[in-house]
Amino acid sequence: MSDQQRNFTVTLSPLDRDSMLELYRLPGCPYCAKVERKLEGFGLDYKSHNVLPFRFLRFKVKSVSGQSGVPVLVDSEHGVEGMAESDDIVTYLENTYS
């Protein structure tokens, strides 16, 4: 090994994707912002998926929740595969994470 080469060992904790909350959202959507405020208020980490403004192009949202509206929450750790409606999501977060 030359003087310019160095070996480094880095230990990374694997991201437990099954426990990561996911939020499908549309930037500027007040209902999505309401859910984001609740997630952030509880200090919850989540992955945000920005969706297209055209409902007919929201294939992933529809495959997750059965409809094309946002916000949609996925919480695989608790068996939530695609919860829609901001009020329902906020109530769920309060009951599950408060």
> Tell me, what's the pLDDT at 20?
86
Mean pLDDT to the nearest integer, 6-16: 43
Which amino acid does the sequence have at 30?
P
For position 18, what pLDDT does the model report? 46
Which residue is listed with tokens 């999505």? 32
Question: What is the pLDDT, as a whole number, of residue 11?
Answer: 38
CATH of domain 19-97: 3.40.30.10
Using alpha carbons, select from 6, 75, 17 the residue that is nearest to residue 42. Answer: 75
pLDDT for 10: 41
Number of H helices, E strands in the chain: 3, 4
What pLDDT, on the 0 to 100 scale, is given for residue 19?
59
Residues 21 and 38 sit within 8 Å (Cβ to Cβ): no
Q: What is the mean pLDDT of residues 32-48?
A: 97
Rounded to an integer, what distance in angstroms lies between the CA atom of residue 35 and that of residue 73? Answer: 9
Mean local confidence (pLDDT), 15-40: 88
Q: What are the residue ranges spanned by the domains of the chain?
A: 19-97
Q: Report the run of H or E that residue 50 belongs to, with start and end.
A: strand 46-50
**Whole-model pTM above 0.95?**
no
